[in-house]
A and B are shown apart, each in its own frame.
Chain A
Amino acid sequence: MAFEYAPAPESRSIVDIRPSYGLFIGGELVSGSGGRIKTVNPATEEVLAEVVEADASDVDAAVAAARAAFDGAWGRMPGRERAKYLYRIARIVQERARELAVLESIDNGKPIRESRDVDIPLVAAHFFYYAGWADKLRYAVAGPRPGSQPGGTRPLGVAGQVIPWNFPLLMLAWKIAPALACGNTVVLKPAETTPLSALAFAEICQQASLPPGVVNIITGAGETGRLLVEHPGVDKVAFTGSTEVGRLIARAVAGTRKRVTLELGGKAANIVFEDAPIDQAVEGIVNGIFFNQGHVCCAGSRLLVQESIADELLEALKRRMALLRVGDPLDKNTDVGAINSAAQLARIRELSAVGEAEGASRWSAPCVLPERGYWFAPTLFTGVSQAHRIAREEIFGPVLSVLTFRTPAEAVEKANNTPYGLSAGVWTEKGSRILAIADQLRAGVVWANTFNRFDPASPFGGYKESGYGREGGRHGLEAYLDH
């Protein structure tokens, strides 16, 4: 007989979602003057809450609050005292980890296993790591430029930060922790479909007694983001999102004094050589593309497999994909949760249809999808050529394009044949090959015999049209320092 999984739902009673939220400006939740938008649970299409769509006057108020905090106590506070606020935030995130994980899964659709074991622990770790830098900035950068004060590192001022919906609270941490560690103040806009964890973070700032105005959270959609990025009171712009919007931001700041870092799209190659350990590689491929429903800018969305093992690998991969459990994000056994929004689901469906129309062969895992909500079965395409749109464009969903190669040189050629350059994977038992291939890959992060590893100590960011600047590690401080 076959054993079935019993449902193992995580209780949602730990979170208290209010019907309506304001903006977090100057340390208080204020009602804002913009209109309202709704955020829904993508697994059920249930409306969770209404949030403000911040307008120009809201953005003005938030930037003014951030400026006042920067010109006030925060800007003059020694690093060792700033550090203590960041440590407090890290501790409160740890204390409220369960609640935040459940909230994140409800608003985003990601499996509780990931929000609980990946997102939230990394959020706490990121604040903890950058807390430790706040009083060590003179060790952080390579050295002061000639003529500046010895060891002199200064914050930039007010950072305007716009983050995506795929890792809502983690992206908030990646933005806010280094900015505050360096002494900046921030105005952050979470994505329109996932505002709730950022609003919970506003309450964490209050619990930590963070001085008013140091962190300001404004909700809204693309227009709010544009207003923030283009606001003359913003000294530094940090954006994570699509390459298309990244280009708009780069154009918008042209001719200003604003500093910019951009973490954009990707189309990572995951290269499997014939001497790779097949079972480990299969796990890595699955993790690379189906982690977080493939809503990952560094996802291993192009599998490049050496021709000699392609059949064997694909068979093993399909067998593994058929075991993926797709469904209720709050079920602790779920591997693949809900697609974050109807719009994203439409895009995944459209590009998948294009893949078929252009001649690639589609195979989807045989899973039963829930009736309500936004779902897409784990899917792979074989017979993909480099010219196919599914090999060139970021799908940002659980869809893998499989290509083959014969020689290492061909693997590198194909891996680099993309305007993106965020990440790549290499699978082989031969250490010297890993290092030689890694040298030739035009990508900001190369994972060898693993994939989708993240750590606050490790710099992350892309080459080419995947953006510029690095987040994480010592490098992550440079974006927020005037040195």
Chain B
Amino acid sequence: MADARHGTAMLSVRDVGHSFGGVRALQGCSLDVFEGEICGLIGPNGAGKSTLISCVGGALVPDEGDITFQGQAITGLAPSQRFKLGVARSFQLSQEWPKMTVLENVLVAQPEDQLTGLFGALFLRRRIAEAERALVHRAMEILELFDLYRLRNAYASELSGGQKRLLELARIWMADPKIALLDEPMAGVNPALKSRIATHLKEMREHGITFVLVEHDLRTVAQLCDRVIVMAEGTVLASGTFQQIQQNESVVNAYLGVAR
């Protein structure tokens, strides 16, 4: 059950619906994500992409439907419990912890254990000191990888928009989840940085992280994603390779039809 064989979905969403007041953001939404892929999630604004990510990440509890991760139902779990199972997410707007340094933003992505609690803080200080050494070492390596090492002692609020995006990825790498749901990780960054982020995502995939990626730039989606899921009006319209969905008539009508 736990080992997602080839062909078995790592994450499955079944008939999920969610409303905000009278607005039906998700309706009968079903999709599968397979281990090791970078899965693009596209669709016009208001299609329900961010709502879906929030439902899978746990920030929202869907009104109906089931979400399973590696065979385990996670529909009602708190975000922190889902994170322990290996589900991490990013937010549409960069959400760093502003009054903490870049390094600390990465360090906080550590898993909770005995040493991170109040008891540990008071009585296990020697063991914490050892663990901190290893943790900081690892965080610094990740920061070097993302070219944030020299900014390690800057407050996260002092970073530029692009650097905040990199920090978000660094944080996710530190957390080392099984699946990461990224809500527009390249929003508002310049083309050069965009291709860097794409490279990082591929590196992280090699490392064993599966991705679900909301992205509007179709060229990036075509280059980066193994599979694309198209959403419109709260439900899944089509899924397949980029070439396949490009030829899907309903997709073209709903979304690609407006592209040049």
Question: Are A and B bound to each other?
Answer: no
